[in-house]
Amino acid sequence: MTVIATESLSKRFPRVTALDRLSLDIGPGVTGLVGSNGAGKSTLIKILLGLSPATEGRAAVLGLDVATEGAAIRERVGYMPEHDCLPPDVSATEFVVHMARMSGLPPTAARERTADTLRHVGLYEERYRPIGGYSTGMKQRVKLAQALVHDPRLVLLDEPTNGLDPVGRDEMLGLIRRVHTDFGISVLVTSHLLGELERTCDHVVVIDGGSLLRSSSTSDFTSVTTTLAVEVTDSDDHPDGTGALRKALTEAGITLLGHDGLDAEGLPGAGHILLVEATGEETYDLVRDSVAGLGLGLVRMEQRRHRIAEVFRAGEAHQAAPAATAGVGQQKGSGHHEH
């Protein structure tokens, strides 16, 4: 079943092409929409809600045409906008009840649904306090609650982790995941942080400059590579164990792919993890024997998985050097970009 479908969708402003012939087919579940600032994420969401007309192409949400059935879409779809848009003087309860009434719920149902959704987002205790006194994380939760209150079939969440610290971000991602697992609501969530979508989403769509870079299941993005991550201890004989192993492996004819520089995305140990290209079972044996021969301790030897960030960086490289026509699919053979 298709939840969101776009066909050659373009949006041109006088100076900028925000979306450029974007074709997507998104099914149920939690889908991440990734792109750097200005990639066209918010523009796509506004078109999907029927709030902004496309310049060209077509789009349907839950089978409804965005050009002609915007009101019906907004009845069935919840929207969490990116920017702060909450009235400071009213409480979360008053605001969310108001939004529920705007969506057409009768007064009693609006109050009940408000209590339920505020409890779901973890704002039950503070629900009668004015929003103006809330932290950023609490405000993001109010915005999420109002998107859920009319029991939509799909929610569009625009940068819900913006402005949150790492703990707040994790909590928000957990809530988003539960929107789907607990209520069966499909989710489209935008972010410019890939690591967080890797953990939260079933499917990831990467756009850049308004065009599609890649759309695949998260497990495809993170498929096993032929790269081994190897970490060793130092010893009295080899105070730089990593350096000694690097030398030994190079002499043994093994290709080293450099240091793992991805710790910013959550991998431990910058600098002292060697990335080794595995050509077969013999690579494991060679690494083991070299480590033993040097008298070092083997801390880890594991097959790496792709990180979505690598695909994204390939896209950035493409943007920086358009003449190279280096689409994601053409990165094959470049070491750890390999699929």
Ligand X SMILES: Nc1ncnc2c1ncn2[C@@H]1O[C@H](COP(=O)(O)OP(=O)(O)OP(=O)(O)O)[C@@H](O)[C@H]1O
Minimum CB separation from ligand X for residue 167, in Å? 22
Handedness of CA 113, 114, 120, 121 (dihedral sign): positive
Closer residue to ligand X in complex, CB, 37/108: 37
- Number of other residues whose CB lies within 10 A of the CB of residue 237: 10
Minimum CB separation from ligand X for residue 42, in Å? 3
Closer residue to ligand X in complex, CB, 35/50: 35
Closer residue to ligand X in complex, CB, 159/198: 159
- The pair phi, psi for residue 245, each rounded to 5°, is -70, -40
189 DSSP β-pair partners? 32, 157
Q: Give the pairing of strands 154-157 and 77-80.
A: parallel
Q: Round to whole Å and give the CA distance between 141 and 138.
A: 5
CB distance 87 to 131 below 8 Å: yes
Q: Give the pairing of strands 211-217 and 203-208.
A: antiparallel
Minimum CB separation from ligand X for residue 213, in Å? 13
Closer residue to ligand X in complex, CB, 47/100: 47
Which residues are at the interface with ligand X (CB under 6 A)?
13, 16, 18, 35, 37-43, 82, 159
Minimum CB separation from ligand X for residue 287, in Å? 42
Minimum CB separation from ligand X for residue 2, in Å? 22
Report in angstroms the alpha-carbon separations of 266 from 125, 193, 196, 228, 315: 33, 12, 10, 17, 20
Closer residue to ligand X in complex, CB, 14/239: 14
Closer residue to ligand X in complex, CB, 149/172: 172
- Which residues fall within 8 angstroms of residue 254, CB to CB, at 6 or more apart? 276, 277, 283, 286, 287
Handedness of CA 320, 322, 323, 327 (dihedral sign): positive
Report in angstroms the alpha-carbon separations of 304 from 105, 267, 307: 50, 10, 9
Minimum CB separation from ligand X for residue 21, in Å? 15
CB burial of 240-279 (b: ≥16 within 10 Å; e: otherwise) equals ebbebbbebbeeeebeebebbebeeeebeeeebbbbbbbe
Minimum CB separation from ligand X for residue 248, in Å? 47
The percent helix, strand, coil of the chain (3-state, each to 5) is: 40, 25, 35
Report in angstroms the alpha-carbon separations of 190 from 8, 49, 96, 196, 237: 20, 15, 23, 10, 51
Closer residue to ligand X in complex, CB, 55/181: 55
Minimum CB separation from ligand X for residue 134, in Å? 22
Closer residue to ligand X in complex, CB, 118/147: 147
Closer residue to ligand X in complex, CB, 13/128: 13
Minimum CB separation from ligand X for residue 190, in Å? 7
